[in-house]
């Protein structure tokens, strides 16, 4: 049974979504490349989560098989975040967040594969709408194809680890899962350094030369935009329904695109075709949540079990 919810709880939820929407902007403000950025972010986040777990006297033990599995999810998260930040760098924050909005499309495709969930007709329709939105963005923003592709693949990886996390969170504490996933992501990024330095840099070296401003942005990114939103969102799930949380999270790209426009101004201006495509994608995302809510009510009235809510992963961009 959920606890009573207050206006303060809803306000905190939207503040969390605002922080997640600011993630891509921070990624663009930090001067070091995307790969090095992910390494430092995951190192700081893993350290902070480990301290929280230690002071709360929670056991770190999950078993060898589970540990390997969770660390493996961290490898996926590493690739997801590298592509996410690289997309914002090579194109724009708006392009990056528009591509990330396709998470719902990938979830609709992948969930029936990884779980026993049946393919839903309305999800196929929403997926087609998202493809139409992407087509418009590709057509009118052809100069940003690389950034769009990176963001869409990043969204695919996000859908994968979110689906896996839904299973993991049923058995293990979310804080433990996130801590080990951050360790896995940090390890994966470090292992990628030799290949990255040789084939993807001009100097043949990893660039970890941080300015004091970089340190500030990275601390905000790792602590304020990663550790705090995660722990707070888990706490709020005890009071606010999964549907409300998911619907609010759908506002993340809207917030991000608006904030990026006001912060970076002319560099974030896009064509009319981009905004039309982005609106179609966001419309499909919101419509999917509302249709799920409607269907669940119908199933309950008929006495049938409701369709499971699409649960957010334990981590977001």
Per-residue pLDDT reduced to its tens digit, 206-222:
999 999 999 999 999 99
Lowest mean pLDDT among 58-67, 116-125, 210-219, 306-315: 306-315
Q: What digits encode the pLDDT tens for the residues 59-68? A: 999 999 999 9
Q: Is residue 107 part of a domain?
A: yes
Instruction: Give the span between the Cα atoms of 258 and 21, in whole angstroms.
Output: 9
Residue 150, pLDDT > 50, answer yes
pLDDT given for residue 311 in this prediction: 44
Is the CB of residue 271 less than 8 Å from the CB of residue 141?
yes
Domain assignment present for residue 310? The answer is: no
Judged on CB neighbours under 10 Å (0-12, 13-18, 19+), 159 is: buried
Residue 274, pLDDT > 50, answer yes
**Is 225 a member of any domain?**
yes
One-character DSSP codes across 253-274 = HHHHHHHHHHHHGGGG---HHH
- Calculate the CA dihedral of residues 129, 132, 134, 137 and round it to 10 degrees: -130
Total number of domains in the chain: 1
Is 316 exposed, middle or buried, given 0-12, 13-18 or 19+ CB atoms closer than 10 A? Answer: buried
- 3-class secondary structure, 275: helix
Rounded to a whole number, what is the largest CA-CA distance in the chain?
65
Max mean pLDDT range (120-134, 188-202, 253-267)? 188-202
**How confident is the model over 187-199, as a mean pLDDT?**
95
Q: What residues make up the domain containing 156?
A: 7-301
Please indicate whether residue 313 or residue 259 has the higher confidence score (pLDDT): 259
From residue 215, how far is each of 32, 38, 92, 189, 220 by CA, in Å?
10, 13, 22, 19, 9
In a domain, 309, yes or no: no
Q: Is residue 13 part of a domain?
A: yes
In a domain, 1, yes or no: no
**pTM across the whole model:** 0.82
What gap in Å lies between CA 110 and CA 104, rounded to an integer?
A: 10
Q: Give whichever of 9-18, 56-65, 99-108, 220-229 has the largest mean pLDDT.
A: 56-65
């Amino acid at each position: 049974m959920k606890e009573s919810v207050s206006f303060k709880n809803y306000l905190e939820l939207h503040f969390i979504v605002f922080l997640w929407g600011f993630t891509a902007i921070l990624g663009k403000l930090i001067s070091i490349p995307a790969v090095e950025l992910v390494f430092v972010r995951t190192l700081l986040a893993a350290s902070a989560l480990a301290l929280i777990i230690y002071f709360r006297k929670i056991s770190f033990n999950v078993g060898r098989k589970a540990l390997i599995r969770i660390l493996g999810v961290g490898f996926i998260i590493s690739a997801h975040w590298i592509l996410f930040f690289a997309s914002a760098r090579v194109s724009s924050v708006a392009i990056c967040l528009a591509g990330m909005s396709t998470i719902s499309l990938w979830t609709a495709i992948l969930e029936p594969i990884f779980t026993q969930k049946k393919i839903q007709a309305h999800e196929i329709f929403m997926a087609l709408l998202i493809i139409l939105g992407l087509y418009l963005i590709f057509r009118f923003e052809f100069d940003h194809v690389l950034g769009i592709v990176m963001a869409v693949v990043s969204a695919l990886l996000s859908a994968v680890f979110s689906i896996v996390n839904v299973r993991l969170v049923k058995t293990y504490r979310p804080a433990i899962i996130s801590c080990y996933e951050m360790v896995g992501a940090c390890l994966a990024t470090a292992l990628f350094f030799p290949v990255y330095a040789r084939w993807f840099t001009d100097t043949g070296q990893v660039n970890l030369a941080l300015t004091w401003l970089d340190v500030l942005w990275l601390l905000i990114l790792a602590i304020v935009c990663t550790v705090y939103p995660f722990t707070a969102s888990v706490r709020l799930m005890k009071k606010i329904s999964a549907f409300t949380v998911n619907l609010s999270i759908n506002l993340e790209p809207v917030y991000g695109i608006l904030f990026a426009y006001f912060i970076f101004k002319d560099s974030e201006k896009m064509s009319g075709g981009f905004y039309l495509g982005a609106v179609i994608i966001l419309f499909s995302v919101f419509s999917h949540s509302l249709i799920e809510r409607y269907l669940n009510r119908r199933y309950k009235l008929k006495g049938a079990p409701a369709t499971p809510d699409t649960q957010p992963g334990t981590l977001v961009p």
